[in-house]
Amino acid sequence: MKHFRRPIIIVTMLTIVFGCARTESKDQTVNAIPRTADGKPDLTGVYQGGSTRRGPWDFQVPGDQPGVASPETQSVFPAAQVRKDPIPFQPWAKEKAQEYLNMRSVDDPAGRCLPGPGPRLHAVGLFPIQIVQTPEQIIILYEYFTVYRVIPLNAKHPDDLEPSFMGNSVGRWDGDTLVVDVTGFNDKGWVMAGAIFHSDALHITERYTRADKDTINYEATIDDPKVFTKPFTSSTTLMLREGTRLREYICSENNEDILRYEELLKRPELFRRTPPDSSK
């Protein structure tokens, strides 16, 4: 009886080892980057920015304290945008941006329902974006302001660009990363929330890397020699949201804020704030 025991142990161990390997392989298949027929990563899908959580749409639910999200659902907003350094504003621009903040961003173009460049739109976790990929072009649809971007691949920027809120985009593949060059902006927008305004010299280089099935790492290099002293980066993750669809957001339908702002601006003492003196 004893001589049967060793083969049984070996077979059992092999079953466990190959069983685990098969499970791992299955997981890798599940999380593998989807690819198109030409072998490029397929970015097609609906995504949520400003979240790192996998699974369905990520929204906040109330926790124990009134108005405060439960700890499990708090991350969706604070993680919206990550950057490594302070914004390298030129001195005059830093002063202007601080004044915007002193006025609690009452001049934010978004308050007048105006869209902004990609880094701003991608970081908003409240609204999904949808990417549609073809071999010739990438289309990005934004629920936020119900706007879109058409990104031709391997094309040149047109030579008749008019200044625009979202700029003109052209893309190319750098290995598995989609690189998008964006130029042709007007000087009316904020490239990021929090008074990070820009001029018509804004130039953005975006990199979209689908790290796995659920995740696109988005990094934007923001350059504007009229406003900043050097280029800087802003990044966020775009998480796949299967089962989520884009809905309508027509911001200008009943924008009462414009009239309220007009009234408030007559009494700025109501809301204007003085930043704490950092030198003390």
Partner 1 sequence: MAKSLFKIAGFILLLAVARNIDAHHSFGAEFDGNKTVTLKGVITKVEWANPHCHFYMDVKDPAGKTTNWKFEGFPPNVLARTGFKKDVTLKVGDSLTVFGWRARDGSALAHAREVTLADGKRLFFGPPAGTGEGNPVLK
Tell me how crowded residue 219 is: count the other CB atoms within 10 A of its CB.
Answer: 16
CB half-sphere exposure, 15, CA atoms < 13 A: 6
- Cβ-based nearer residue to partner 1, 178 or 241: 241
Instruction: Evaluate whether 206 touches 194 at the Cβ level (below 8 Å).
Output: no
- Cβ-based nearer residue to partner 1, 23 or 255: 255
Contact between 188 and partner 1 by CB under 8 A: the answer reads: no
Residue selected from 192, 222, 227, 240 as contacting partner 1 according to rule CB under 8 A:
192
The residue written with tokens 């639910």 in the block is 61
Contact between 251 and partner 1 by CB under 8 A: the answer reads: yes
> What is the spatial distance between Cα 139 and Cα 130, in angstroms, rounded to a whole number?
8
- Cβ-based nearer residue to partner 1, 123 or 131: 123
Interface with partner 1 in residues 55-114 (CB under 8 A): 57, 59-62, 66-69, 77-87, 89, 94, 97-98, 100-101, 103-106, 108, 110-111, 113
Interface with partner 1 in residues 120-159 (CB under 8 A): 120, 123-124, 126-127, 143
The residue written with tokens 């003085």 in the block is 274
Contact between 180 and partner 1 by CB under 8 A: the answer reads: no
- Cβ-based nearer residue to partner 1, 100 or 148: 100
Tally of residues, the chain: 280
Token reading at 257 = 């804020």
The two most distant CA atoms of the chain are separated, in Å, by 96
Contact between 263 and partner 1 by CB under 8 A: the answer reads: yes
Contact between 179 and partner 1 by CB under 8 A: the answer reads: no
Instruction: Evaluate whether 206 touches 129 at the Cβ level (below 8 Å).
Output: no
The sign of the CA dihedral 222, 149, 253, 236 is negative
Contact between 224 and partner 1 by CB under 8 A: the answer reads: no
Instruction: With CA atoms as reference, report the closest residue to 244 among 73, 120, 148, 129.
Output: 129
Which chain residues interact with partner 1 by CB under 8 A? Answer: 57, 59-62, 66-69, 77-87, 89, 94, 97-98, 100-101, 103-106, 108, 110-111, 113, 120, 123-124, 126-127, 143, 192-195, 234, 244, 247-257, 260-261, 263-264, 267, 270-271, 273, 275-276, 278
